[in-house]
Chains A and B, each alone.
Chain A
Amino acid sequence: DIQMTQSPSSLSASVGDRVTITCRASQSISNFLNWYQQKPGKAPKVLIYAVSSLQSGVPSRFSGSGSGTDFTLTISSLQPEDFATYYCQQSYSTPRTFGGGTKVEIK
C-alpha cells in the first residue's frame, strides 16, 4: 500500500494568513494526488484533483503543487469558512489511501 503522510497534523492560523500543508507519498504517485476539505459532521469535499486542478466552485485562494512524492496545498489568504480538516489522497493505485489529516484551527 502507498502510505500518505501529512504535516503538520494541526495548525493555528489567523484570518488572512497564508497556510501551507504538505503531503508525502511513500512512493512516486506521479500526479495522482487530491486534496479534500472536511468540516465537522460533514462528508469530505474535493478541493483539488490531479495535484493542481481546482474542482469546480472552489475558490481560487486554494492551490496545489508538487509531483512524484511531495505535494503541497496552499491557502493564500485564510477565510473564516476555511477552518476545517484537510486530507490528501492518492488515486495512483488501489487500495486508495488518505493522509492522516491536518486540522486548521483559529488562532
Chain B
Amino acid sequence: QVQLQESGPGLVKPSQTLSLTCTVSGGSISSGDSYWSWIRQHPGKGLEWIGYIYYSGSTYYNPSLKSRATISVDTSKNQFSLKLSSVTAADTAVYYCGRDTLTSFDIWGQGTMVTVSS
C-alpha cells in the first residue's frame, strides 16, 4: 500500500528557507488519481493546509502563507517537496505530507517537527 515519509532538517534559522521532502512508496506519484499535499500543525493546535501539487506540476497554495510556499514534484524519484521562505517562529510546527484524493486526505506521513530558532 502507498506510504509517505517526510524528511528534512528539524531546525531552521529565522529568515531562512525551510525545505522538506516527501517520499512516496508502494505506488506512483504519477498515477494521476491524487494530489499531493503539505499540511502543518502548530504545537498543541489544529491543522493548516499549506498546498498541493499534481504530478504534472500544477499547484495550489493556501493564500494565508502569503506566497512564501513553493511545492515541487520529482516524478523520477517519486517525491514532492516543500520550500517555505522567510520563516519565523510562527512557522514552528509538525509538517505532514498527505495524499489528497479530492475526497479526503486518505494517507498521511508520520510528520516531522520543524523548529525555527537561532
Binding site for B on A (CB under 8 A): 1, 32, 34, 36, 42-46, 49-50, 55, 87, 89, 91, 94-101
| Min C-beta distance of A75 to chain B, whole Å | 19
CA of A50 to CA of B110 in the docked complex: distance in angstroms?
24
In the A-B complex, the 6 residue pairs with the closest CB atoms: A43-B108, A49-B104, A96-B49, A95-B62, A34-B104, A98-B47
CA of A27 to CA of B10 in the docked complex: distance in angstroms?
38
List chain A residues, Cβ under 8 A from B48.
98
The reply to whether B46 and A101 form a contact with Cβ atoms under 8 Å apart is yes
**Which of chain B's residues has its CB closest to A45's CB?**
B108
From known contacts A43-B108, A44-B108, A45-B108, infer whether A97 and B49 are also in contact, taking CB-CB under 8 Å.
yes
Chain A binding surface SS class = loop
Render B49-79 as a binary contact track against A, CB cut-off 8 A, 1 for contact: 1011000000011111000000000000000
A-B contact count (CB 8 A): 60
| Min C-beta distance of B116 to chain A, whole Å | 20
The reply to whether A49 and B63 form a contact with Cβ atoms under 8 Å apart is no
Say whether B102 faces chain A, with CB atoms less than 8 Å apart: yes
The reply to whether B64 and A95 form a contact with Cβ atoms under 8 Å apart is yes
Render B74-118 as a binary contact track against A, CB cut-off 8 A, 1 for contact: 000000000000000000000010001011111011110000000
CA of A50 to CA of B108 in the docked complex: distance in angstroms?
18
Say whether B21 faces chain A, with CB atoms less than 8 Å apart: no
The reply to whether B103 and A91 form a contact with Cβ atoms under 8 Å apart is yes
